[in-house]
Structure 1
Amino acid sequence: MKEAQLDEIDRKILRELCHDARISNQKLAERVNLSPTPCWNRVRALENAGIITEYVAILDQKALGMPDTVIIEVTLERHDDEIFQRFGAALAELPEVMEAYLLTGEYDYLIKVAVAGTEGYERFLRQKLYKLPGIRNSRSTFALRCLKRVHSVVP
């Protein structure tokens, strides 16, 4: 099922699931004006088509003791497949890393990490990030406040 093949009911289903992935099929069907069986069939079709890829729990990083978000730009020493693969694999193993992107432009990676203040960030840098293979330099910015956070594109 390609994006162009989604009808308005599919879009309503996706919007509702983005808002509350734990909604019961009965309640979802009510909200999108379907009976439960066709609603369930549409959700399964969206899953089978790869439009719905997973359901997740979003955790409160402050409640977990890591209230601060830092955005880090990283430049690697070299630009070859081996260093990108090694760095990317090692980065994916760090639990503080919430998102990481391979970029074009001045920096090679943009990394979003959760930490507990400047001391937690220093520990992350010294004990984890700077021990990864191939880093030439980095630049960091502490986020003051999150103005918008979504976990998926909403149709």
Structure 2
Amino acid sequence: MKQARLDATDIRILRIMQSSPELNIHEIGERVGLSHTPCWRRLRRLRDSGVVCGRVWLLDPEQVGLDVTIFVSVRLKSHTSELLESFEQATLDIPEILQCYSMSGEFDYLLRVVVASEIKRTTCLPI
């Protein structure tokens, strides 16, 4: 895939979008010195070229009860394409797995998992 050509204004727009995703086109344009239409055209070009591929809202893990992040190293018994595909698909079905990276070396995958704190869970148990 061909890398997109970005000028200084494009880069400023991208930085603003990353740091302040709630801003609208007019507000972004004001910050980079563009009126609404030229800013809108740049944003459309960035989207159409695949540079910008969506908006994401980040959640505070503590506020949703998932305040512990765990990194899990996984080693598979075999490396058939069916098993690799099956494993990767299974990780998509577990909402606590936020990221799955294919690795080289001693382990096959590294998972980033979020869970509720054990301390909070165990203090709720009736003893």
Q: Could you state the TM-score of these two structures normalised by the residue count of structure 1?
A: 0.73
Answering whether residue 52 of structure 2 is matched by residue 58 of structure 1, we say no
Identity %, equivalent residues: 34
Distance in structure 1 (CA, Å) of the matches to 2:106 and 2:31: 46
Q: What's the CA shift for 1:36? A: 1.1
Structure 1 residue runs without a partner (length 5+) = 121-155
Which residue in the other structure is 2:8 paired with? 8
Distance in structure 2 (CA, Å) of the matches to 1:26 and 1:88: 41
Distance in structure 2 (CA, Å) of the matches to 1:84 and 1:118: 31
**1:93-104, aligned counterparts within 5 Å?**
93-104=93-104
Runs of 4+ in 1 over 6 A off after TM superposition: none
Distance in structure 2 (CA, Å) of the matches to 1:84 and 1:98: 18
Distance in structure 1 (CA, Å) of the matches to 2:107 and 2:117: 24
Q: What's the CA shift for 1:87? A: 0.5
Distance in structure 1 (CA, Å) of the matches to 2:37 and 2:94: 42
Q: What's the CA shift for 1:98? A: 1.0
**1:74-153, aligned counterparts within 5 Å?**
74-118=74-118
Q: Could you state the TM-score of these two structures normalised by the residue count of structure 2?
A: 0.89
Per-residue CA deviations over 1:53-109 (Å, capped at 9, x if unaligned) read 111111111110110000000000101101000000001110001111011111000
Per-residue CA deviations over 1:91-139 (Å, capped at 9, x if unaligned) read 111000111101111100000010112479xxxxxxxxxxxxxxxxxxx
Distance in structure 2 (CA, Å) of the matches to 1:35 and 1:66: 42
Which residue in the other structure is 2:125 paired with? none
Quickly say closer, same or farther: Cα 1:119–1:96, change in 2 above 3 A. farther
Q: Which amino acid aligns with 1:2?
A: Q
Structure 2 residue runs without a partner (length 5+) = 121-127
Greater CA radius of gyration, 1 or 2?
2
State the structure with bigger RCO (CA 8 A, min sep 6), 1 or 2: 1
